[in-house]
Chain A
Amino acid sequence: MTPQGVRLDEPFAVDVSRLGSTTSIAPSGELDAATRPQLQAAIPELGPGDRLILDLRRLAFMDSSGIRVVMTLDVRSRAEGWGLAIIRSPGAVQRVLDLCRVPERVRTVGDPVELESM
């Protein structure tokens, strides 16, 4: 699930923005076991009616740690009654999500505009 030739030199960062009840989390760089805690720490406590958008467009690479984050968020969102959506990433990151059939479980869109109807 890992593309060859990915350089691990771009630092990992998480951009968090909030608008009303919607929190948008946009990781960039490479998501792996080492950076996963940084992403998880950025995820706020959410409650019924809230919405979390995981924007993966700037993620260059993700290993199985990324799937683990998605699964954890999906399980939490259903238990706690908040909404979860993923903005798909082109290329290798999306391939990992597709292999795990993430779009069948978590609403996945290509463009944030599609989320306005959510």
Chain B
Amino acid sequence: MDDRHAGLIPEDEEARLAAVRRYDVLDTPADGTFDRVTALAARHFDVPISIVSIVDTDRIWFKSHHGLEVQQLDRDPGLCASAILQDDPWIVEDAAVDPRTLANPLVAGDFGLRFYAGVPLKTSDGYNLGTLCLLDHEPRELSPQETATLEDLAAIVMDELELRLSARTVVDREHELRDHAERTARSLQESLLPPQLPAIPGATVAGLYRPADASRVGGDFYDAFELDDGRWALVVGDVSGKGAAAAAVTALARHTIRTATLTLADPDRVLAMLNRAMFVGRTEGELEHFCTVHLSVLEPTPAGMTMRSATAGHPPAIVARAAGGSEAVIAEGPPVGWHGDARYTATETALVAGDTVLAYTDGLSEARRGGEFIGEAGVASILEAASGASAQQVAERILATLSSDGVDVRDDAAAIVLEVDR
């Protein structure tokens, strides 16, 4: 700050400049609202020049400048820079004889300013950002009524600045909330999916998860884990609802399935136990969260693997055969969490080298392609078309299908793919 600014710096200058930054108006393009106010002021008061000024650190920048070509001036004493030091209008009726303005370049120089009337633009929290001012080359007087009109016009300018600030604040806040929701949803979701699928001897596995809405935790999940007798379990599930409540049920389902599969050999018994766990502490007569599940237990055999599967209201898994063609793994059973008498049955499928298993949630089969549901048959054709591809490539193809043009995915989709080594 050089000497020219001596006596021009308000005590609250740092906070005032923070307010100037907050309104985010400096160096923005001219716009109609402020230009209309300065044009109106010039016409009403019959002066050649009217300005909406913002006093920055070492310059006075003009948001609107009617009748004056320049965009900004130095922060020199006597005019706007002085006007913001007080809350009342700053009126100089004849600058040529007024000691407050004699030194100002606009008064002393060729410009020949004689009249200045500025009303501070005061923020709701009390900082003067700049002024709405009138300038003339002739000396003038301003009546109390005229001063009041100028104050009203300054209030209109300030209202507009406040309105823009609050609109921006709302938008910023919304972005912030959305970012926060997406971050929370992502971390919660990640906690519900295995960070890395295990390496299953004799097979490769890949999982995929695609939320319909990144800001909400979905209820879809998948899992793969080793049992202590050399067998493996594959799980795909879909818990009704979204958000934190659904996430809690997803966690319950995933952990119950893990624990139960370690102690109970059969997938149908695991689902029956999960169903009982869902009813612990639950209100009668209300359908709360329910869950569809596919659970397969895989056991290596000399020829490949034996897969025992049970499902709870879940779309049948699909097995694409190395020799060509595909089949659905049908195992009937009600969704978990519907009623206490649920009965599940396991079905056994022999897998040989090169066979691929896809277990998925209905977000995939109920996605629409060109207005038509992809359907179980559509999922089967994606899998068959990927013949010879690795589990990871199949998962990528499914994700690519869901992300392609003309495909409308309305629900979360999750899947797990297993390919028996060739």
Contacts and interface: CB of A to CB of B under 8 A. Distances in A.
Given A64-B292, A100-B332, A2 B339 contact: no
B313 interface: yes
A15 interface: no
B285 A64 contact: no
B335 A100 contact: yes
B332 A8 contact: no
Interface of A: 1-9, 32-33, 61, 63-64, 67-68, 71-72, 74-76, 78-80, 98-102, 104-105
A99 B332 contact: yes
19 contacts: A1-B376, A2-B375, A4-B373, A5-B375, A6-B375, A8-B371, A9-B371, A63-B362, A71-B290, A71-B338, A75-B338, A76-B285, A79-B284, A98-B332, A100-B332, A101-B333, A101-B334, A101-B343, A105-B338
A97 to B, nearest CB: 10
A101 B366 CA distance: 20
B313 A75 contact: no
Contacts of B334: 100-102, 104-105
A67 B335 contact: yes
Contacts of A3: 373, 375-377
B362 A2 contact: yes
Contacts of A33: 410-411
B38 interface: no
Given A4-B374, A75-B339, A105-B341, 6 more contacts: A2-B375, A4-B373, A33-B411, A64-B313, A68-B287, A102-B334
Contact of B374 (A2, A76, A98): A2
Contacts of A79: 284-286
Nearest to A8: B371
Interface string B297-316: 00000000000000101111
B378 interface: yes
Contacts of A6: 372-373, 375
B333 A100 contact: yes
A5 B378 CA distance: 9
Contacts of B401: none
B372 A78 contact: no
Given A6-B373, A79-B284, A99-B313, A1 B330 contact: no
A72 B337 CA distance: 11
A57 B342 CA distance: 26
B311 A99 contact: yes
Interface in B347-383: 362, 365-366, 368, 371-378
A6 B366 CA distance: 11
B240 interface: yes
A4 B343 contact: no
A75 B332 contact: no
A61 B365 CA distance: 13
Nearest to A33: B410
A10 B341 CA distance: 37
Contacts of A99: 311, 313-314, 316, 330, 332-333
Q: Which of B332, B334, B378 has the most CB of A within 10 A?
A: B334
B371 to A, nearest CB: 6
B287 A2 contact: no
Contacts of A9: 371
A72 B290 CA distance: 11
A49 B111 CA distance: 96
A98 to B, nearest CB: 6
Given A1-B376, A4-B375, A4-B377, A75 B366 contact: no
Given A71-B335, A75-B286, A105-B341, A100 B376 contact: no
B306 to A, nearest CB: 23
Contact of A2 (B284, B332, B335, B373): B373
Contact of A7 (B287, B314, B362, B372): B372
B337 to A, nearest CB: 9
Interface string B315-340: 11000000000000010111100110
A72 B338 CA distance: 9
B409 to A, nearest CB: 12
A29 B342 CA distance: 30
Contact of B378 (A4, A98, A100): A4
A74 B338 CA distance: 9
B335 A7 contact: no
Nearest to B344: A101
Contacts of B362: 1-2, 63-64
